[in-house]
Each structure stands twice: as C-alpha cells, then as structure tokens.
C-alpha cells in the first residue's frame, strides 16, 4: 500500500472538520461536486431495472414539478394525508409494507444530511465562497436529479417525491448544519459517506456509482471492534475490526436493492431486495478498497481500489471492475483531483 500523504487540512483545525478530512487517499480523495451529483443524484442506478445511459434518458421533470407545485393533488392520489403520514412520515405502523418512512429517514435525512455537511466542508477547505449555500445547491440538485431519474416518463406528481423534496431532504441539511448533531454522528456513531468510484463509458453509461451511509458504533464488550452498518439502497450490518495505523476491516451482509417499481396509480416506489454484502478496508474513515457480491444481475461482483492504494504514479489513480451475471465486464479508473468522475469501459 502506498504511504499516504499528509492531509491538506492543517492538524490545528482538523477537529473543525467532522466528515471531510482532506485525506489524499481513498474515498476522501475523490470528493467533489460531480462526485455528489453522480453518486447521490443517480443512486437508483444500482437497481437492475434502471437505464444507466444518463445522457439519453427520459427524465421525469414534469413529475417533480407537479409533485411540489400540486401537493394537494399528489397527496390525494396517494390516498390522503392519513396514508402519507402513516407510511411515509411517522413510524406508527408495524406492517413491513408501510415502512416507507425508514428509507426516507436513513437515505434522505441521515445520508443526505451527512453528504451535505461533507461537501460543505470540502467547499470550505477549497475556498469556495458561501460554502453552506454551495453545499445546499449541490445536495438539493442531486435530490431533484434522483427523483427525476427514479420516475422516467412519469407526468403525474406523487406524495412520496413531494415529501422527499419538501420535507426529508431539507430536514437532513438543516439537522446536520448543527455542530452538536454532526459531532454526535461523526464521533459517537462513526458516521461516514462511502461513495462509489463513478465512471462514464464512451457510450454514456454510468457505472459503479452509489452513495452509502456508514455507521461504526463501538462495542464496549469486545475491545477493538464496532457494530458496522452500511445503509442506502442496501442494508448490510456486520462488524468492524480496528487495526493499527488507523486501518479498519469491516464485514457486512444483508440486503441489496435489486428492483424499484413505480405504482402507476399512486406513484409509490416499490423496491425488491436481494441478498448481498462485502468486505471493506478503510484508513481513518476514508475507504481504500472493497469487494461486494450480490444477487443483483448487473453487479454480481464489484471490486474497488481507491487512489492511494496502488503505488503507481504516486498513488494518484484508483481502479475498479464489475462482473455481471451475463459474464459482461465493466472496468475503469478514477483519479485524485478529478472531482469524482472517472472513465469506464466494458466487454459484453
């Protein structure tokens, strides 16, 4: 493993940065506005029934517009405010099918809030004026893209989209603007965002992207270990084993998002899950390498090696490959300082 360079953030102010530490290796080295747009905005590209050719796509722009400008109609179409509150907002139902609120809080409030705080810290480090405003615009643009991409060709609004854009996404941004909240998640829960090394092929296919909330909660009964959770379009709980020099090895197995259907009557998002999980190596919270396996057809095996691991050209580049169920292969490279977009290719 290449010896990591020092952080671009001076040690004297490191404690002021809770989710971005300026490390020139691992997932930290790929952070930038394009990284957020590709990994968060197109997160549902991880579902196997999504078209990943993002430059020739029938985005649901009218769906998003009608969802937020005709809230009353969107709610009525969903079944009324009682149904919206019972399934989308409040955890008051014990029926699994009514747990739509769970991904709303995990994905939009917590994952989205940490992502916003992380890119705000990146903007601050890089001297971008009004970093809070820049982060808000980046995160909300990603949220809008996510809803447009999730509802291709849909012209009617939905309460689910309205709740995401008008309630959960802004709530996450507002919540993690508070230092005490962010510090609790960062220091007590070990919260991090691990994103994919998003790549674009010459044909315009987006591959190897994704945005995941990571939690590492220390286990007092077992020294040197933590309860590990990877959440987003997946839920893979497991354990982290803390090594020397800030190196951690984590294992997580559980559910991966396989398919996302849209109810044509209500606009409700209906996911189907598959088994999956993986092994992860990180240094001080910055992901260095991962191996993922799942039952999802277009990403049966995914291997990522981030910048700073392979001692070539100063460890500036990372690499990855994806094996599909059909035997097709996708592969690519990422680079430190490329703002989070890499190059990909494939063999069918």
pLDDT in tens, the chain (348 residues): 434 456 777 665 677 899 999 899 999 999 999 999 999 999 999 999 999 999 999 999 999 999 999 999 999 998 899 989 988 898 877 676 667 888 899 999 999 999 999 999 999 999 999 999 999 999 999 999 999 999 999 999 999 999 999 999 999 999 999 999 999 999 999 999 999 999 999 999 999 999 999 999 999 888 999 999 999 899 999 999 999 989 999 999 999 999 988 887 777 778 889 999 999 999 999 999 999 999 999 999 999 999 999 887 778 999 999 999 999 999 999 999 887 889 999 888
Angle at 174 between CA 171 and CA 180, to 5 degrees: 120
Place of tokens 């994952």: 111
pLDDT given at position 188: 95
Bridge partners of 346, per DSSP, are: 330
Residue 232: how many CA atoms within 13 Å on its side-chain side? Answer: 29
Bridge partners of 292, per DSSP, are: 278, 302
DSSP designation for 334: E
Q: How far apart are CA 41 and CA 37, in angstroms?
A: 5
Could you give the 3-state DSSP secondary structure of residue 246? coil
H or E stretch covering 269: strand 269-283
Place of tokens 């009525």: 76
Structure tokens at 48: 């196997």
pLDDT given at position 1: 41
Structure tokens at 17: 């940065």
By the 8 A CB rule, do 149 and 262 touch?
no
Residue 93: how many CA atoms within 13 Å on its side-chain side? Answer: 17
pLDDT given at position 266: 74
């Amino acid at each position: 493993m290449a010896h990591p360079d020092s952080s671009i953030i001076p040690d004297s102010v490191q404690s002021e940065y809770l989710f971005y530490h300026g490390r020139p290796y691992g997932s930290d080295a790929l952070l930038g506005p394009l990284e957020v747009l590709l990994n968060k905005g197109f997160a549902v590209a991880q579902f196997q029934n999504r078209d990943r050719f993002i430059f020739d796509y029938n985005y649901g722009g009218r769906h998003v517009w009608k969802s937020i400008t005709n809230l009353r109609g969107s709610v009525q179409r969903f079944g009324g405010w009682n149904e919206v509150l019972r399934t989308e907002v409040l955890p008051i139902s014990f029926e699994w099918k009514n747990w739509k609120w769970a991904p709303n809080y995990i994905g939009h409030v917590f994952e989205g809030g940490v992502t916003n705080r992380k890119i705000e810290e990146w903007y601050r480090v890089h001297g971008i004026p009004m970093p809070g405003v820049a982060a808000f615009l980046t995160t909300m643009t990603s949220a809008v893209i996510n809803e447009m991409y999730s509802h291709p060709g849909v012209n009617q609004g939905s309460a689910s989209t309205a709740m995401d854009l008008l309630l959960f996404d802004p709530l996450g941004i507002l919540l993690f603007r508070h230092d005490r909240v962010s510090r609790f998640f960062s220091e007590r829960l070990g919260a991090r965002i691990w994103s994919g090394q998003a790549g674009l092929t010459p044909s315009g296919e987006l591959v190897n992207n994704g945005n995941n909330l990571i939690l590492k909660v220390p286990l007092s009964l077992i020294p040197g270990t933590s309860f590990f959770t990877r959440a987003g379009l997946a839920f893979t709980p497991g354990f982290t084993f803390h090594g020397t020099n800030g190196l951690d090895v984590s294992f997580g197995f559980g559910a991966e998002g396989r398919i996302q259907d849209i109810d044509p009557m209500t606009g409700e998002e209906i996911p189907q899950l598959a088994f999956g999980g993986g092994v992860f190596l990180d240094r001080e919270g910055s992901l260095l390498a991962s191996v993922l396996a799942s039952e999802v057809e277009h990403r049966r095996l995914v291997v990522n090696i981030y910048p700073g691991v392979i001692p070539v050209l100063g460890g500036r580049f990372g690499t990855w490959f994806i094996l599909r169920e059909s035997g097709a292969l996708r592969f690519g490279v990422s680079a430190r300082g490329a703002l989070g977009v890499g190059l990909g290719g494939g063999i069918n």
